[in-house]
Amino acid sequence: MADHYFSKLLHAPESRTTGKGQEVITIAVLLSMQDVILTERRRKKRYKPRWLEGFKQGEFFLQTTDPGQRYWIDENVQYDDLRISQSIIVGRAVILAQPMMALPSPATMNSEVEASRFGWLLYGTEKDMFEIHGGCGFSKKLLHIMSQVTYCAARLQQEPESTIVPITAKYLIRELSEMRQWSREGRNWEEARKHPQTIDWVRDKAEDVIIDSSEDMTDVTAEAWRIAAIIYFQCRLLRLPRNHSDVLLNLEDLSKCIRIMPTSGSHFTAQAPLLPVFFLGMLATDPMHMRVSRDWFDQVVQTPVRSVQTGSAPAQVYYKLLWYRIRVLTTPSERPPLYQALQRIWTWIDSDVEIPPEPNTLHESIGKRYPWWEHLVARVLAKEEETLCLT
């Protein structure tokens, strides 16, 4: 019945009217989440994953109905809470699938179309851009930057001698390095902009310290996502090897963030940083980093499902489903699909993905460096039976 109604909405005029389309987007999200939760229903790699195709339909309607209002055009723009929630839910699913997927073919990629994707994430005010979205764990601006990292990597693959990509890369890393995210339960936007970054105090925490406040959990989770985005930028766009000194420094910071996060109790929510923990484990060359990632997954799968009370009604439904996805187990001995994939990657990554003996000796032109991340993705796609779901 839901599929029939969804088919009707796909062709309804209001689904393509500027500022509308909320209903078709919501149903696309809910139908996609069925495939995310019910892992046995997922298509194997011969077919396109239903969950990703559904979220891409949500992307299409967000793009088609985009009001076009941006924070740098009108600071007093009136925005819709539901649309913001939908943009993050859809953007999160599509954008976070990209790191472990092949880049668009250089022969067929339309750079203008790719560059304009996800512009609807920038809908709202500047303050909205950096707010940590309840239940998501990070800001719209950070999510959009991650999409731009993927686009720039694709553009560099298409045109290795590009002069625009290195310039854009400098802008992106400056944005990531200086970014301050804020939440309504903690410091406001004005205070967050003036305050030191969360990682500054995380570095000073003793190894046995565990976060014991919701405010700290929100801040550290958002910081883990920011650092993971920097690592992604360094590895996929700058093509720094995973044992490069700059990458190792960020992996250490990410490890410290993950280590102090509780994996059960009232402060552990659907904000769970799956992709950062996955990155930490997959890219680890330090056994301690791998251990932190493994311990987090092992502890999380023992955590009982509880209610999620954050955000708008559609957002609550989504994050409740997300929580079940994190916890989806049939017996205590089983592991979530993403963790199983990570464990398989551990068996071959050191032999199949070269770790250079002199990681800091690289060609000055990033377009002439070895795109090892693309080799990693190709190996994952060849070995895994389905597209990895990192949301």
Q: pLDDT for 321-360, tens place per residue?
A: 555 555 543 334 467 889 999 999 999 999 999 899 999 8
CB atoms within 10 A of CB 45: 12
Supply 288's token pair. Answer: 């301690």
The whole-number pLDDT of residue 331 equals: 39
Contact 237, 176 (CB under 8 A): no
272 in helix, strand or coil? coil
The whole-number pLDDT of residue 308 equals: 43
pLDDT band at 316, cuts 50/70/90? low
The whole-number pLDDT of residue 309 equals: 46
Determine the average pLDDT of the residues in 367-378: 97
* Angle (deg, nearest 10), helices 140-158 and 164-178: 160
The whole-number pLDDT of residue 34 equals: 81
Least confident of 63-67, 107-111, 362-366: 63-67
pLDDT digits (tens, 9 = 90+) for 186-243: 888 888 898 999 999 999 998 889 998 989 999 999 999 999 999 999 999 999 999 9
pLDDT exceeds 70 at position 380:
yes
Q: What is the largest CA-CA distance in the chain?
A: 59
pLDDT exceeds 50 at position 51:
yes
The whole-number pLDDT of residue 216 equals: 92
The whole-number pLDDT of residue 11 equals: 67
The whole-angstrom separation of Cα 160 and Cα 165 is 9
The whole-number pLDDT of residue 20 equals: 74
Position with higher pLDDT, 234 vs 24: 234
pLDDT digits (tens, 9 = 90+) for 156-187: 999 999 999 999 999 999 999 999 999 988 88
Position with higher pLDDT, 306 vs 10: 10
CB atoms within 10 A of CB 339: 21
Least confident of 87-101, 114-128, 138-152, 286-300: 114-128
Burial of 187 (0-12, 13-18, 19+ CB in 10 A): middle
Give this prediction's pTM: 0.90
Least confident of 61-65, 139-143, 296-300, 320-324: 320-324
Q: Is 118 left (phi over 0), alpha (psi -120 to 50) or beta?
A: left
Determine the average pLDDT of the residues in 357-365: 93
Position with higher pLDDT, 327 vs 101: 101
pLDDT band at 270, cuts 50/70/90? low
The whole-angstrom separation of Cα 124 and Cα 115 is 20
Give 93's Cβ-side CA count (13 Å radius). Answer: 26
The whole-number pLDDT of residue 27 equals: 85
Helix (H) or strand (E) holding 246: helix 245-259
Contact 73, 48 (CB under 8 A): no
pLDDT exceeds 60 at position 311:
no
Determine the average pLDDT of the residues in 278-283: 98
Determine the average pLDDT of the residues in 303-329: 50
